[in-house]
A and B are shown apart, each in its own frame.
Chain A
């Protein structure tokens, strides 16, 4: 034991005796960044939604009014776009769930442990390939002389072209991994013995699926739906690339920031997906899906 310990040792001992101080130091920077910068920006956005723009100067006028919300709810254009956006998001979610479930089931219950790891990487890797490149890929696939028409031609069919259908296809493609991964995780946790017990008791495959597997993996499906639904609600680029002339809420926000230079109205429109998401989260809370995220 030395009489005088070096400064680093003393500092170390000082911090060791003060866990609250260590915690405060660790939390300070991330909290300043996210709490002040990000939450502050979000709060400011919702305040801006109640402001307006001067018609002549284009400057933001900081006086409170509900005018933006009145426009949003009374104008039939915005009602149509909101309904279209929610419809597309819901459809994308259903399509993804239907495609993802059998894939996740094969991954979790049929593949060997080694194959499982490879398959998970194979699902996740393209997830990171640029969003824009994937949307662009569907633009080339769906074009008049693209691969989809080439594939369908022998059957006397043709692809959907650019429009709402193409938007649903593209968004479903983009978000599919977000549905596969939670369902896979949910199925992995489902004990095989329950499935075996069901068939021992005489249930056919479909009955086992409907009465045992589906109820137990439902929270995982809902967890996946949170992402597919939220990401579709906020999209505006895919619909610009493959959507023809149809618009989603994101386009209204984008156009009001760019061309119209009406930031307050853009902020008002942006509250719609947030409110819809909050309602959705509140509804699915009961299923326990949030614990599956």
Chain B
């Protein structure tokens, strides 16, 4: 390849990363920008908004709702995703491709379709009032795929030899799982769990349609306050917190999974 082409490609890569990270940096900077209209560039800095945000009741309540929904959805997704991963990775059966499509579907279809389908099912078909529980059910549905992807990748890599050896040596199924399978899966489960939690924590479209009135997750709280000018400083802090809260665990999940989860987000 010519030198010019190389230079151009490296430049494109650098410019691309600059564009990817610059907006996030602006949000982080604005959270300490003392100017309430957030004109650019910031002239002076303050921690006042952070002080106000950590005592903002609405934001704190929303944070708690997000954590509750995230933990519950992650727990359900860990169980269902792992079961599905074992079934699809270890067995060949009729309809296997359809099952794997079904697992990806909640995330492959536009969020609004998933959201309104569940909203309609809860309200019109089942006659259940929306609440935290309905949001947890919805979140679990699209978090399964994240756990599934991580566990499948790990199962594929570790094969079945060690488990067979354990059985040959006389361990029963439970013992083999406890002493052989689970330790090898542990970091994949942790990575999948972190990613599922992050996905649930960030989700807004499906949440909007499945969370009961009066309840707010953090993204919904931001959305509700986005168009209120006097809330702008606090929104900036919460947005900055969200960037840190969601990207740091994901960074660790990536390292934990050791390149297992080659695809991210909704994929």
Residues of A at the B interface (CB closer than 8 Å) are 8-9, 11-13, 15-16, 19, 23, 26-27, 29-31, 33-35, 37-42, 44-45, 48, 60, 99-100, 102-103, 105-107, 109-110, 117, 119-134, 136-141, 143, 145-147, 149-150, 173, 176-178, 180-181, 185, 195, 199, 205, 226-227, 230-231, 233-237, 241, 250, 253-254, 257, 263, 266-267, 270, 273-274, 277, 293
Interface residues of B in 224-267 (CB under 8 A from A): 226, 235, 239, 242-243, 246-247, 250-251, 254-255, 259, 262-267
Given contacts A38-B106, A234-B110, 17 further A-B contacts (CB under 8 A): A11-B172, A16-B167, A23-B87, A26-B87, A30-B80, A38-B102, A38-B105, A48-B120, A117-B259, A130-B202, A130-B243, A136-B222, A173-B19, A176-B16, A230-B110, A270-B113, A277-B110
Judging by beta carbons under 8 Å apart, are B262 and A185 in contact? Answer: yes
Which of A35, A40, A128, A147 is the one whose CB lies under 8 Å from B121? A40
With both beta carbons as reference points, the residue of chain A lying nearest to B124 in the complex is identified as: A60
Judging by beta carbons under 8 Å apart, are A45 and B239 in contact? Answer: no
Please give the distance in Å from B70's CB to the nearest CB on chain A.
13
Please give the distance in Å from B114's CB to the nearest CB on chain A.
8
Q: Is the interface of A mostly helix, strand, loop or mixed?
A: helix
Which segment, of B35-43, B48-56, B154-162, B182-190, faces chain A? B35-43
With both beta carbons as reference points, the residue of chain B lying nearest to A119 in the complex is identified as: B13
Please give the distance in Å from B146's CB to the nearest CB on chain A.
10
Judge if B179 is at the interface, Cβ distance under 8 Å: no
With both beta carbons as reference points, the residue of chain B lying nearest to A121 in the complex is identified as: B254
Range of interface residues on chain B? 35 or more
Judge if B180 is at the interface, Cβ distance under 8 Å: no
Judging by beta carbons under 8 Å apart, are A102 and B251 in contact? Answer: no
Can you report 20 residue pairs joining A to B where beta carbons are below 8 Å apart? A13-B172, A29-B83, A34-B102, A34-B103, A34-B105, A38-B106, A42-B113, A45-B117, A60-B124, A110-B9, A120-B262, A125-B251, A125-B254, A130-B204, A132-B222, A133-B239, A139-B226, A145-B40, A181-B267, A226-B108
Give the distance in Å from the alpha carbon of A120 to the alpha carbon of B260 in the complex: 12
Q: Given A29-B83, A121-B254, is A34 in contact with B120 using a C-beta cutoff of 8 Å?
A: no
Which of B9, B140, B201, B202 is the one whose CB lies under 8 Å from A106? B9
Judging by beta carbons under 8 Å apart, are A137 and B26 in contact? Answer: yes
Judging by beta carbons under 8 Å apart, are A147 and B243 in contact? Answer: no
With both beta carbons as reference points, the residue of chain B lying nearest to A14 in the complex is identified as: B173
Give the distance in Å from the alpha carbon of A210 to the alpha carbon of B93 in the complex: 42
Judging by beta carbons under 8 Å apart, are B264 and A250 in contact? Answer: no
Sort A-B residue pairs by CB-CB distance and give the 5 closest, nearest first: A234-B110, A12-B172, A137-B23, A41-B121, A102-B12
Judging by beta carbons under 8 Å apart, are A110 and B141 in contact? Answer: no
Give the distance in Å from the alpha carbon of A267 to the alpha carbon of B195 in the complex: 30
Chain A hits for B121, CB < 8 A: 37, 40-41, 44-45
Please give the distance in Å from B86's CB to the nearest CB on chain A.
5
Give the distance in Å from the alpha carbon of A147 to the alpha carbon of B91 in the complex: 54
Judging by beta carbons under 8 Å apart, are A130 and B219 in contact? Answer: yes
Judging by beta carbons under 8 Å apart, are A122 and B116 in contact? Answer: no
Which of B38, B118, B198 is the one whose CB lies under 8 Å from A128? B198
Judge if B165 is at the interface, Cβ distance under 8 Å: no
Judge if B59 is at the interface, Cβ distance under 8 Å: no
Judge if B2 is at the interface, Cβ distance under 8 Å: yes
Judging by beta carbons under 8 Å apart, are B223 and A132 in contact? Answer: yes
With both beta carbons as reference points, the residue of chain A lying nearest to B202 in the complex is identified as: A130
